[in-house]
Structure 1
Amino acid sequence: MSINHIVTPLDSAILNSKDQYVFYHKKVDFALKELIVGVQQNGLCTPQEVIFFKQYCDLLLYSIEAMRVKYMYDEEDNMKIDVTDSGFPNYLEFRYLFNDLSLRDNYLNKLKDVSVLQDEFLDQLLRKKQPVRRDKLFQAASIVYYTSVEQQYIFNRFVQGKIIKAPEGSEADYMTSWSFYDVSLNRPFVCFMYFDYDGKDPFTNKEEIYEALKAVADRKMNMDTMAYGIDRRLKNVYPKHIKRLDIGAFHNVFAKDDNDLTHTILEAIGKKEIPLEAYALSFKIHEVFTGGEFKEGGYFSKQTLQNWSTPIKEGYVFAPHRIIQLLYNKNPEIMNKLAKPPFQVADLIIEK
C-alpha cells in the first residue's frame, strides 16, 4: 500500500446523533439520485454508461444506508465523514462495514431473539409507559443490520464490472467498466474502457483483464498514465477510449474542505441566507483516445502499444437554482471555467 493510501482520523468529521445520521443520509441519497438523472438528461454519458453509473451509485447508497443502520444507536462508535475534499464517508467506513459483515454469524449468535426483544419493547412502552432505552434500540438496529445487509453489495475500494459487447456505433468492439473509492481523496470514481481484442474474444481471458485493471487503475492518476499502464499490462487488449467520472466533492454543511465552492455554501448557511439542506455537487469527466501505435521492447519481446491523445478534462457542477446564483455571485471565475453552465437540480426539502 502506497503512502497515498494512508488515512487518518484527522481527515474526518464525526456524525454523533440519530438526527445527523438521518439528515446526512437523506442529503447524499437525494444528491446522487439527482446527479444520475442530470447526467442522463444532459448527455454526459451514453445510455449504456448511464446504466453502469447508476449501478455503482446504487452500491454506494446501499453502503451508506447500511452505515446509518449500523451506527444509529451505537454509543461507542460514530460514522466519519471526510472533510478534506469529499463530503462522502471516509473510506475506512466502507472497509469496517465489509470486515464487520464477515463476522455476521458470530454477532447474530450473541444477539437476543427477536421475539424476546419485542416483548421487552411492548412492556416498556405499554405497561411502564416509558420510552425504549437506547441500548435496546441499538440491539434492534443490530438485528436489522446483521440480518438484512449483504456483504457482496458493500461498495469496496475496487468494484469490477463485466466485459460486454460495445454498443453499436462505438469506437471499439468491447467495453468494460469499473469503479474505485480513492482512499486519499475519499471520493468514488467510475471508469469505462472501450477496447479491441487480439484473439477469439476477451471473455475467456476476462480474469486476467480484471486483475490488470485492479492493479493499475484503482486510484486517481493522470489519464494517459492509467491508459499506458493498462495497455502495457495486457498484450492482447487494445484500448481505444478510456473515460473516468469523478464524483465530488459534495459541497454541503458536513464538508469542511478548502474548496472555494464549499466555503461559499458554508458561509451562506452560517448567515442563514440558505437552508442547512443546501448543496452542490462537483462532477468531472476525464477522457483519453488512441492516436496511433508504437512498438516497445527488445527484438524478442516487442509489444504494440497505443499513442494517447492529450487528456480531455471537463468540469461540471450540479446545484439547485438558488445555489447556482450564489456560486455565480461569489465564485464567477470558477463557474465560468466549467465545460457547461451549471446543471440545475431539485432543492432538497427536509421537514423540520
Structure 2
Amino acid sequence: MNSSDHIRVESPADFHCHLRQGDMASLVTPLVPAGGVETCLVMPNTQPPITSTDMAVNYRSQLESLAPEVQFVMTLYLSPALTPEEIHKAAENGVTGVKSYPRGVTTNSDGGIESYDVYYPVFQAMQDTGMVLNLHGEVPSDEATGVTILNAEQRFLPQLDKLAHSFPNLRIVVEHATTKAAVEKVKSLPSNVGCSITPHHLELIVDDWAGQGFNYCKPVAKYWEDRAALRDVIREGHPRFFLGSDSAPHPRANKINKAPRLDEHLEAVPACACAAGLFTSAILIPLCAHLLESFGALDKLEGFVSKNGRAFYNIAPKTDKAVTLVKQDTTVPVEYTKSNGEGDSVVVPFMAGKTIKWQLL
C-alpha cells in the first residue's frame, strides 16, 4: 500500500533503452533490474546495427544471459535491407518494433534513412502484423532549410502527421520527445500514436548541456516551456505518454569535450565532440519518482513507468512482480565500472554525485 514514504509500483517498464555490446553490455545490462525495471525495449543502433530477425534473436539471448530476470523486447533498425517478408518473420519471432533513425542525427545513425516513402511496403507489413514503428523524430541539420538541433524535432512533425494518417492502424511512437510542439502534436493525433519521455528531459534545459558533456544527449533538451509541457502531460496522466529512458551509456572518456588537435602542418583538425547520451538505467525508477515528485506528479508514477506503456505496446509483465520505493535521500554514484582483466569500462550516470529522494526497498 502506498503512503507518504512508501510507493508500490507494478512491474516497471522502460520502453527505450540502449544496452550496447561487449564489455559495455556486460557492465550496464545487469544494472537494468538494479534500477527497478522488469521489461526493457532495446534499441537496435549497435555496431553493426540489428537489421534482421536472426540478429535480434541472437542479441536478445546475449542480454538474457546477462540479466535473466528482465524481459527484453527487441526492435529492428530500419534500413534498405528490411523487407515485408522480414517483418513477418520478425513478428513470428517476438520482435516488437522497428526503429527509424534519420541519417546522422544521433549515435550510430550513419545508416539512417533519408526518405520514408520508400518504406511504405514495410510499414504496411508492420501494420498487418501489429508491430510498432519507433520514430527518432528529428530531421538532419541543414543550412539550406534552416534546421539545427534546436528545431529539428519541430520540423519533423509534418512527417509524423503524414505517417499517422497514412497508416491509421500502425502503432507509432514518437521517441524521447523534447518540445511543447511534439507533445501537442501527439495529443492531437489518433490513438495509434504514442510518445516516450525520458527522465533527463524532465530535468534539463538547453543551459544545462551547452558546454557540459555529461548532460549532452540527442535530441538535446530545449527551453523552459518545452520542459513544462513534458511535465504537464505527465501530471495530466495522459495515457499515451510513458517512460522511455533513452539510457545510453558511453565510456567516461567519450563524454569529455576534446580540444582540436594540430596536424603535421600545424593546422587545426576538428576533434569529435563529446558522445551524445546519458546513462540512467541503474537508478531509473527512483530517479523517476524523485523527478515526478518535484513537479507534483508522484501520483502518476505507476501510470508513467508501467501501465501507460504496457497498454500501448500490449506487453504484459514477464512476472507479476512489483517494486517498492522508500523515501530516503540517496547519493547517485559518481561512476559505474567493471574490470575485465584487460581494461575497465567506466560510465558516469546522470546526476552523478547528486541526491535523489527515493530508493528501491
TM-score normalised over the length of structure 2: 0.29
TM-score normalised over the length of structure 1: 0.29
Higher RCO (CA 8 Å, separation ≥ 6 residues): 2
Q: Which has the higher helix share?
A: 1
The structure whose Rg is larger is 1
